[in-house]
């Protein structure tokens, strides 16, 4: 392994490691709410179920009433998704502030510069740069998701009403980029941790430096 591989052995400061696992947790919950809504809580898919259950109990309910009841389940899931979105927006702000307060050698900009300063083009250098640039793409997508999500959360505010449909479409589109990054990231970490760059996951948990 060449000298640039040491870049993968650098540990993250505690503020970044805590942020990382909180982001993982809240993104997982956010994705779960999207999946649950898509599979089980769409209003139009549950109207007949509500009517059937009421009929089983000897009651009578109109289609409009059943739709309102079914919509309540969707609303509760949406509220959970919204609160998780607030948490993720806070985490984005946290990461932005952290980039200014952490040590210089831990900043993304500095880590990229160090890799670029290596005169030789090596497998490890290219790999490291790809990883760092992918993080920048992730943060850009995260910014779009947080911004559009907040606009959707405050959809009743007058200035947001005219752009609601556009913002919703952007939010829905960019989420696929986020899913793609997460799949790429998790797969890459597993492969790297089981291959030439063992200890990535454990260092992200305990923050211990590699002893040579």
Give the tens place of pLDDT for each residue, 110-147. 777 777 776 666 777 788 888 888 989 999 999 999 99
Instruction: Looking at the structure, tell me whether residues 108 and 97 fall in a common domain.
Output: no
Instruction: Looking at the structure, tell me whether residues 87 and 147 fall in a common domain.
Output: no
CA dist., res. 57 & res. 43, Å (int): 21
The pLDDT value given to residue 210: 55
CA dist., res. 22 & res. 180, Å (int): 19
In a domain, 8, yes or no: no
In a domain, 6, yes or no: no
The pLDDT value given to residue 11: 79
pLDDT for 48 beyond 80: yes
The pLDDT value given to residue 1: 44
DSSP string of 22-82, one letter each residue: HHHHHHHHHHHHHHHHHHT--HHHHHHHHHHHHHHTT----HHHHHHHHHHHHHHHHHHHH
In a domain, 2, yes or no: no
In a domain, 3, yes or no: no
**Two tokens at 161?**
């009403």
Instruction: Looking at the structure, tell me whether residues 69 and 156 fall in a common domain.
Output: no
Domain boundary among 87, 102, 117: 102
Instruction: Looking at the structure, tell me whether residues 210 and 180 fall in a common domain.
Output: yes
Instruction: Looking at the structure, tell me whether residues 97 and 20 fall in a common domain.
Output: yes
Instruction: Looking at the structure, tell me whether residues 111 and 134 fall in a common domain.
Output: yes
Instruction: Looking at the structure, tell me whether residues 125 and 167 fall in a common domain.
Output: yes
CA dist., res. 83 & res. 77, Å (int): 10
- HSE-up (13 A, CA, CB side) for residue 172: 8
Q: What is the extent of the structural domain holding 157?
A: 104-212
Count how many residues are written for the chain: 212
Number of CB atoms found within 10 A of residue 149's CB:
22
Q: What's the sign of the alpha-carbon dihedral 78, 168, 180, 182?
A: negative
DSSP class of residue 154 equals: T
The pLDDT value given to residue 6: 56
Q: What is the per-residue pLDDT across 150-202, written as a single tens digit (0 to 9) for each?
A: 999 998 899 999 999 999 999 999 999 999 999 999 999 999 888 877 788 88
Instruction: Looking at the structure, tell me whether residues 51 and 70 fall in a common domain.
Output: yes
Number of CB atoms found within 10 A of residue 145's CB:
22
What is the tally of structural domains in the chain?
2
Instruction: Looking at the structure, tell me whether residues 62 and 117 fall in a common domain.
Output: no
pTM score, two decimals? 0.84
Instruction: Looking at the structure, tell me whether residues 135 and 195 fall in a common domain.
Output: yes
115 to each of 73, 92, 111, 132, how far by Cα in Å? 50, 25, 6, 10
């Amino acid at each position: 392994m060449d000298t640039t591989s040491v870049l993968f052995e650098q540990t993250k400061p505690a503020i970044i490691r805590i942020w990382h696992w909180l982001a993982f947790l809240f993104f997982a919950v956010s994705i779960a709410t999207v999946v649950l809504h898509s599979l089980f809580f769409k209003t139009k898919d549950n109207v007949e179920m509500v009517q059937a259950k009421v009929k089983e109990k000897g009651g009578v309910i109109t289609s409009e009433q059943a739709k309102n009841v079914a919509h309540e389940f969707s609303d509760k899931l949406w509220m959970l998704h919204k609160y998780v979105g607030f948490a993720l927006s806070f985490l984005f702000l946290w990461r932005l502030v952290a980039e200014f307060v952490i040590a210089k050698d831990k900043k993304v900009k500095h880590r990229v510069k160090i890799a670029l300063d290596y005169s030789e083009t090596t497998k490890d250098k290219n790999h490291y740069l790809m990883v760092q640039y992918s993080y920048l793409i992730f943060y850009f997508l995260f910014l779009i998701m947080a911004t559009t999500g907040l606009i959707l959360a405050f959809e009743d505010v007058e200035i947001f009403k005219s752009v609601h449909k556009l913002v919703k479409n952007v939010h829905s589109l960019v989420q696929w980029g986020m899913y793609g990054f997460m799949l790429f990231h998790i797969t890459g970490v597993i492969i790297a941790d089981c291959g030439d760059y063992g200890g990535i996951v454990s260092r992200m948990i305990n923050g211990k430096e590699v002893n040579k």
